A and B are shown apart, each in its own frame.
Chain A
Amino acid sequence: MSKPIITFENVTKRFGRMVAVDNVSLTIDEGEFFCLLGPSGCGKTTLLRMLAGFETPTEGRILIDGQDISNVPPNRRPVNMVFQSYAVFPHMSVADNVAYGLKIDRVPAAERDRRVEEALELVQLGGLGSRKPDQLSGGQRQRVALARALIKRPRVLLLDEPLSALDAKLRDQMRTELCTLQETVGITFIMVTHDQDEALALASRCAVMNRGLLQQVATPNDLYEFPGSRFVADFIGSVNLFEGVLAVDEQDQAVVRSPELPADIYLDHGVTGGRGATVWAALRPEKIELHKYTPGQPPPVLDDSPAGSNLVRGVIRHESYLGSESTYDVEIAGGRRVRVLRSNLTRWDQEDFALGEEVWLGWHACSPAVLLN
């Protein structure tokens, strides 16, 4: 299962003086649904286009099944691509679009027709073969592009922002379908996207890129819970970052002291920073709990942290009610605002925490991630 199918070896791509892809080394295994994720201009599309053969690396090698394909033209590579604009040929019927690649491969007409039929069924376009592209909706055109690429039975299917042009509802539906489709055909998918939700939902593994550099390659779960850098923590989901100093760093515990926070951040595990190092503690909004503050009452007790740490007082300055959950911006002593996400478990939940209320913010000792850069 984990046989490498694609290897980037120190690949660099320059356009004039601009470095689009900077010394990227990456291995993608057979059967993966791999996502290249990053903000626009980060080099993810260039990486994909180098795989397809539309760009050649300035330096480094790209291997498919162990073969260096740097000098293989796009029409001889065992990969096919679904373009962002779909690139469905407007002057051909749906069936002719899908059959295009097979005609070039001189597949006999009878087999060709059968495979076109199959491919259209696979993407749920059965019976629409005689339509022209301008008679299709955006989602249907997307399916034509998928069928046209998959019918060639490529080793790898490349998808360039395939869902970005669809409306939200359709995007959700296509997301699920892409997942099912990949399981059905068993082909390695490599998808470029700038949408982190999309990447988290679909990918078996993700590569996060920024300014041409590979930031982190991990499963969606690891990317979110164990980000390797401030960029990744901030790019994937939303995060509260506190710059501080590692005051304690032992085998089974660590403490980060931040001038922005009146309380220590206590962790129930050690970090690989060393005492006195400058670090950033990353706290996801949903990992912070809100507790009611009542004057004269003792603060809530956290069972996994020493008294005085992982607990701060603040005032709710902003609230967004999102239906299933609410987000709060809480101002703590010193003026720093902390973003908190809270599920609306009952129908009266949000009434407890109104604008201007004083609250306690608390978190578990295992929740913060400590980042060294």
Chain B
Amino acid sequence: MEQHWKSAKGLFGAVLGPPLFWLVLFFMIPMGIVWLYSFGENRGLTEIALTGTFSNYLRALDPLYLKIFAKSVGIAGLTTLICLIIGFPVALAITFAPPKAKTWLLLAVMLPFWTNLLIRTYALIAVLRTEGYVNQSLQWLWNGLGAVVGVLGVGSLGPFQPLELLHNNFSVVLGLVYVHLPFMVLPLYSALDRLDTSLLEASLDLGAGHLRTLLTIVAPLALPGIASGVVITFIPALGSYLTPDLLGGPDSQMIANIIERQFKRANDWPFGAALSFLLMYMTFIAIALQAMLSRRRREPS
């Protein structure tokens, strides 16, 4: 079955041609145009002169934008960490669930994927806003407690103060964790599921408890899965646009929101393009780090 592609050039070309054409036309060329824009200057409303300037990149190094880059990395990093902390036990539970339950649990993890992101985000707004479900529930509890206090004649609790759950950094991180959790759970699950259970049994057999087995056997062997889970959670989280836009407050803007503003309201396409490519380079660095990590692990020492 193993044939060299050179012996079937025609077939190879026929199979590879359409997707390659698609990639070049709708991905490489637009990307190239945006890349060229990042070295250009605005001349009038629609005209961009490609002057080969680095001024857009220099402008992006302004502390104002660096701060937003740093904040984006921070929010994405925190999101990834929380996803890992929540996702690892979830993946572990699915791995060791009975085979019948496994399918349903995996389905439950993936179900949100099949719902539009916008709808899910608006649902979160309904949950978190001042008159949202969380605050309503809290108010109900508060009033109940107030009634008890009133009956006991101890005093009064005063009016209910709703919690500020929406339009701040908290709601952005919560929203991002909610959206990105499946990205973490699935690679973790696939790494854990491949683990030979007799390794875990051997660890128990040699006297280790469950926690020790988890730390010394499961976690190191699942490290490639953890690394890929971290990367594929971190990258989309870093470039999130909708979640900070809808759930965030004035100070929880992420880099994608700034980029959007350059292309739309500010009409500064060259600067937007430069910011876009800086974001992309950061993504490349994250992927390169993961590749290096997994290669080092594969090499026999």
Contact = CB atoms under 8 A, between A and B. Distances in A.
A52 interface: yes
Size category of the binding interface on chain A: 20 to 34
A231 interface: no
Contacts of A148: 202, 206
Given A91-B221, A134-B300, A85 B205 contact: no
A27 interface: no
Nearest to B300: A132
Contacts of B205: 52-53, 74-75, 79-81, 149
A132 B301 contact: yes
A135 B300 CA distance: 8
Interface residues of B, number: 19
Given A73-B204, A135-B300, A87 B209 contact: no
A75 B198 contact: no
A90 interface: yes
A89 B199 contact: yes
A85 B204 CA distance: 16
Interface in B283-301: 300-301
Contact of A74 (B204, B216, B301): B204
A101 B198 contact: no
A91 B203 CA distance: 13
Contacts of B216: 100
A101 B207 contact: yes
A83 interface: yes
A321 interface: no
A189 B12 CA distance: 59
Contact of A83 (B198, B207, B208, B212): B198
Contacts of B207: 75-76, 101, 104-105, 152
Given A87-B202, A89-B202, A104 B212 contact: yes
Given A85-B196, A87-B196, A134-B300, A80 B201 contact: no
Q: Chain B contact residues: over half helix, strand or loop, or mixed?
A: helix
A81 B202 contact: yes
Nearest to A76: B207
B32 interface: no
Nearest to A130: B301
Interface string A37-55: 0000000000000001110
B211 to A, nearest CB: 11
Contacts of B301: 132
Of listed A74, A87, A91, A152, residue having the most chain B CB within 10 A: A87
B221 A80 contact: no
Given A85-B196, A87-B196, A91-B221, A100 B300 contact: no
A83 B201 contact: yes
B300 A87 contact: no
Contacts of A132: 300-301
Contacts of A135: 300
Interface in B211-265: 212, 216-217, 220-221
Interface of A: 52-54, 73-76, 79-81, 83-85, 87, 89-91, 100-101, 104-105, 132, 134-135, 145, 148-149, 152
- Across chains A and B, which 8 residue pairs bring their CB atoms closest together, nearest first? A101-B206, A87-B202, A87-B198, A104-B207, A74-B204, A83-B198, A75-B207, A81-B205
6 contacts: A73-B204, A74-B201, A81-B205, A90-B221, A100-B216, A101-B207
